[in-house]
Amino acid sequence: TRADVAAFSVREGDGAFELLFHVRVSPPIRELAVLDGTARAYGVSKGLGSLIDLAMADGSELGRHTNLPAFTEARFAQSGWVLGAARTARVGEGPTQLSFISPAAEVVGAGEVPNATSQVTAGGDAWYVGCRDGGLYAFGFDGRALWRWDTPGSKKDDDAYSRPCPYYVTWTGEQVAVSSMGNVYGITPKGRTVWQFELPSEPKTYALNV
C-alpha cells in the first residue's frame, strides 16, 4: 500500500542505517524542528496551517493544532514558540507579514517587516528577523517590536537584490551574528554592534598571453 512505500532512499551505506519508524503526516510537512525529543511540524492545506507534534521515539502523534494562518516559512524556538512569515510580494515589492505563535499554538501577536525576509533565528527571548531592506529586526516572542539594526551600506544602495542586508542570521548564545557581503557583525540583544570582521577576498589570478 501507499503507506508501505518509503519516503526516502539511501544511495550509499545502507548498512549504516536502520529504519525505526515511518509515518506520513497530513498535511505535507513544509517545516520541521526537533524540540526536546518532540518533532514539531508545520504544514499547509487549503489555505490553512497546522502544527503537528510527533514523538521522536516512535513517530506517534502527540498533538495537532489546526486553523492557523498559512505561512511561506515557519521558524521554531526551543522553548516552543513559533514565528510564521508570509510574503506578500517579490523582493523589493512588498512587506512580509509576521505571526507570533505561543507554545500552545495560539496566535498571540502580529507584525510585519517592509520587504522579503532573508534569514530568521530565535535568541534567548526574542526573534531576530533579517530583511532585504537592509534591517535586522528584533521582536519579542509575543510580537513586541524591540529594535531595528541597519546593515552598513544598506541605505546607499537602492537595488533590491544587491543591497547589503542580513543575508545570514544566527544566535551564538550571547549575541546575534549577521553576515552580509563578505562582512560579519556581532550584535548584542539590545541591537548594538560590538564587533565586525571582514572576510578576506580570494586572490585574483591573471593570465599572461605571450
Find out whether 109 and 160 touch, Cβ atoms under 8 Å: no
> For the residues 167-189, what does the mean pLDDT come to?
95
Kindly report which listed range (32-41, 84-93, 126-135, 201-210) carries the lowest average pLDDT score: 201-210
pLDDT tens column, 92-106: 899 999 999 999 999
158: Cα separation from own chain's centroid: 25
Q: Which residue has the higher pLDDT, 56 or 207?
A: 56
- DSSP designation for 157: -
Vertex 41 angle, CA 40 and 46, to 5°: 145
Q: For residue 193, how many C-alpha atoms fall within 13 Å in the half-sphere facing its CB?
A: 14
Task: Give residue 204's pLDDT.
Answer: 67
pLDDT tens column, 105-125: 999 999 999 999 999 999 999
pLDDT tens column, 32-72: 999 988 999 999 999 999 999 999 999 999 999 999 999 99
Q: Is the pLDDT of residue 88 over 70?
A: yes
Distance in angstroms (rounded) separating the CA atoms of residues 163 and 153: 8
| Strand duo 82-87 + 73-76: pairing | antiparallel
